[in-house]
Chain A
Amino acid sequence: MIEIVNLHAEVQGQKILNGLNLKINKGEVHSIMGPNGSGKSTLAAILAGKEDYDITDGDIIYKGESILDLAPDERAQQGIFLAFQYPIEIPGVSNAYFLREALNSINKARGNPVLKPVEFGKLAKQKIKMLKMDETLLKRSLNEGFSGGEKKRNEILQMAILEPLLSILDETDSGLDIDALQIVANGVNSLRNEETAFLVITHYQRLLDYIVPDFVHVLVKGKIVKSGDKSLALELESKGYSWLED
């Protein structure tokens, strides 16, 4: 589904990614772990198309084509979703309105019919039920005054409604209690199928008890230094990262 080839990226002259290679196929869940400052969140932002970074070498091939020249909205319309580490607040815009606008932008771009408010309401309620979340979430102003846990859950709700092909979760588990963690994992697992793929960025092994990855990669200094299966995450949990940092 996506292939990252020899990706080099920097921000204001500072190198962050140094020749990163990663291939994710349909139906797979990959997890990226690594010490602070290793480039995990940068990778997520670059995949989503944030403009603050200079790509100095390499390419990102998504569904067979380079997406380096695509704007963030074009990437989203093609099915790339980023669950933000720090979801943004937009005062005065209800969650439901925001999501309907988002879904309809994607529908329009794909030539699908747009949903009327009533139709959208049905869909949203169904998803919220599936995720065992609170319906009032929809009526509130987008992320405004949400607790940390609510913000993260809201990212998963958005993901469930937009039904992306490739979902990138940027430390969605940080700051969540066990109940919230289960809700998030539940959301991911319900979308997991042969057509979708996930890139789960996390610091903690415990998320991977709920979202069991097919592959685990360790990112150090902008490069993947080790890959393995779920057992690698357990190994990291006990040994830390220092044995992989030169």
Chain B
Amino acid sequence: MVEELKIDNDQATKEMLEKNDYKYGFVTDIEQEIIPKGISEDVVRFISNKKNEPEWLLDFRLKAYRKWLTMEEPSWAKLNIEPIDYNGISYFAAPKEMPKSLDEIDPEIIDTYNKLGIPLEEQKQLEGIAIDVVFDSVSLVTTFKDKLAEVGIIFCSFSEAVIEHEELVKKYLGRVIPSGDNYFAALNAAAFTDGSFVYIPKGVKCPMELSTYFRINAEDTGQFERTLIIAEEGSSVSYLEGCTAPKRATSQLHAACVELIAFDDATIKYSTIQNWYPGDKDGKGGIYNFVTKRGNCVGKNSRISWTQVETGSAITWKYPSCILTGDNSVGEFYSVALTNNRQQADTGTKMIHLGKNTRSTIVSKGISAGFGQNIYRGLVEISKNAQNARNYTVCDSILIGENCGAHTFPYIEVKNSSAQLEHEATTSKIGEDQIFYCQQRGMSEEDALSLIVNGFCKEVFKELPFEFAVEAERLLSVSLEGSVG
């Protein structure tokens, strides 16, 4: 059922590239293996077979697929979405030549990642950051793998983990996000093709940043990756993900699942810079980003911290959450979401307090410009046994121009009277006075805007590793271009 095709930069795409300023919008011209469009049990079996997966994993996928067939696309989000044709997508695309080592990677791909600022060549690799490189449906390479293995850390592609560390994957896959959790998580569980796997053994502090870089390249494909991070007792890890995609006139679906598990005294810090292609000015094309991210603070004194900077995608639907099971565990969510032109984001978090003395912090900064719509949706739930739980939520929105919108939907469920919750929310328009003040000091209107917006996001950016914070600031400025004047 495999057909080969070569992807061409057609004229329309080329023109779009020249006109628009999304600098990651280029297409890599390589020989690809793409399966025909559509989803079925056969496709699920094909993917599983392609990956030489054990029987139990195929069963996991099929169970999810059958569940998915019975489910309906959620409609509660405040999003205007063109109907998604799930059979108009190809569920598997991979470079035809799969590399066995760095030297075997197609130079076109090496070049692609150079353009994205991620050198793969050994001698140029970024110091202090190990990267798993996911290109369409497959992981191509993971850097610094051996060095990490010396301290017992497993960092590899999900497919490799299934083969090499089957017991770990079997033990934890779907533990935090069950295969039929929600519509998109079920589709992911059925059709995921790759992703990253991280295992930090007891007492180990990961000596470098771990990172996955997701790139969608092929047309009319979806990307369905799955990430699983396990931090054993007393360990800690900081993980980053970045995402880009070429500009295409048609929308593409990205439905990922990320599961985090933190045992006693373990810390997982998960940072995302999401810069998928947002579509053009009129809302044509762009990635539909439907992501389920959830962490379970299983152990006492454990901590899971989500930081996200969401500037891309036509549609963002994502609620990185923490289940605070262990006593004294801590959940954090720091978010910047920017919507410009016709972008829509419905994003937020869930903090589920189960253990005693659990604490959570939510800092959400929404920026709307153009015709962008930005929705914060969050749930803080304090269960009956969560004695002395604390939550602090700040939810700020900023509006640029007359046609955009910001909406806040905070849900609170408290079943224990010892809980203390604080919620602060503000919405403000970028003041003409602020812009004028900056201009009077010599800055252009656009520089003024990005200075003000970056100041607004400061609380979130300071949670990012330094290099990412710099990148996030730059990205924000680029994403806001053309939103004033």
Residue numbers of A with Cβ under 8 A of B are 48-51, 71-73, 75-77, 81-82, 84, 87-88, 90-93, 98-99, 101-103, 105-106, 109, 141-142, 158, 162
Expressed in whole angstroms, the minimum distance between the Cβ of A17 and any Cβ of chain B is 19
Expressed in whole angstroms, the minimum distance between the Cβ of B191 and any Cβ of chain A is 41
Residue numbers of B with Cβ under 8 A of A are 431, 433-434, 436-445, 447, 451-452, 454-459
Chain B residues with CB under 8 Å of A77's CB are 442
Q: How far is the CA of A75 from the CA of B451 in the complex (A)?
A: 20
Please, which residue of chain A has its CB at the minimum distance from the CB of B461?
A: A92
Q: How far is the CA of A88 from the CA of B457 in the complex (A)?
A: 18
Contact present for A72 and B436 (CB under 8 Å): yes
Chain A residues with CB under 8 Å of B452's CB are 90, 93
Please, which residue of chain B has its CB at the minimum distance from the CB of A84?
A: B437
Knowing that A50-B436, A82-B440 touch, tell me 6 more A-B residue pairs with CB under 8 angstroms: A73-B445, A92-B454, A98-B441, A105-B441, A105-B447, A158-B441
Q: How far is the CA of A103 from the CA of B444 in the complex (A)?
A: 12
Contact present for B456 and A92 (CB under 8 Å): yes
Contact present for A92 and B442 (CB under 8 Å): no
Please, which residue of chain B has its CB at the minimum distance from the CB of A76?
A: B442
Pick the contact of A105: B436, B437, B444, B456 (CB < 8 A): B444
Contact present for A106 and B439 (CB under 8 Å): no
Pick the contact of A98: B439, B451, B458 (CB < 8 A): B451
Expressed in whole angstroms, the minimum distance between the Cβ of B178 and any Cβ of chain A is 39
Contact present for B431 and A88 (CB under 8 Å): yes
Known contacts A88-B431, A88-B434, A76 near B440 by CB under 8 Å: yes
- Residue pairs across A and B with Cβ atoms less than 8 A apart, 26 shown, are A49-B439, A71-B439, A71-B445, A72-B436, A73-B439, A73-B443, A76-B441, A76-B442, A77-B442, A82-B440, A87-B437, A88-B431, A88-B434, A88-B436, A88-B437, A90-B434, A90-B438, A91-B455, A92-B456, A92-B459, A93-B455, A98-B438, A101-B443, A142-B455, A158-B441, A162-B442
Contact present for A92 and B455 (CB under 8 Å): yes
Expressed in whole angstroms, the minimum distance between the Cβ of A76 and any Cβ of chain B is 4
Chain B residues with CB under 8 Å of A88's CB are 431, 433-434, 436-437
Expressed in whole angstroms, the minimum distance between the Cβ of A201 and any Cβ of chain B is 15
Chain B residues with CB under 8 Å of A49's CB are 439-440
Contact present for B454 and A93 (CB under 8 Å): yes
Chain B residues with CB under 8 Å of A72's CB are 436, 439-440
Chain A residues with CB under 8 Å of B455's CB are 90-93, 141-142
Q: Which of A50, A82, A91 lies at the interface centre, i.e. has the most chain B CB atoms within 10 A of its CB?
A: A91
Known contacts A50-B436, A98-B451, A92 near B458 by CB under 8 Å: yes
Known contacts A84-B437, A93-B452, A102 near B459 by CB under 8 Å: no
Expressed in whole angstroms, the minimum distance between the Cβ of A19 and any Cβ of chain B is 26
Contact present for A103 and B457 (CB under 8 Å): no
Chain B residues with CB under 8 Å of A48's CB are 436, 440
Those 10 A-B pairs whose CB atoms lie nearest each other, nearest first: A92-B455, A92-B458, A93-B455, A102-B441, A72-B439, A88-B437, A106-B442, A105-B442, A76-B442, A73-B439
Q: How far is the CA of A105 from the CA of B439 in the complex (A)?
A: 10
Contact present for B436 and A102 (CB under 8 Å): no
Chain B residues with CB under 8 Å of A81's CB are 440
Q: Which of B431, B433, B440, B444 lies at the interface centre, i.e. has the most chain A CB atoms within 10 A of its CB?
A: B440
Chain A residues with CB under 8 Å of B440's CB are 48-49, 72-73, 75-76, 81-82, 84
Contact present for B458 and A73 (CB under 8 Å): no
Please, which residue of chain B has its CB at the minimum distance from the CB of A82?
A: B440
Please, which residue of chain A has its CB at the minimum distance from the CB of B433?
A: A88
Contact present for A109 and B442 (CB under 8 Å): yes
Chain A residues with CB under 8 Å of B439's CB are 49, 71-73, 76
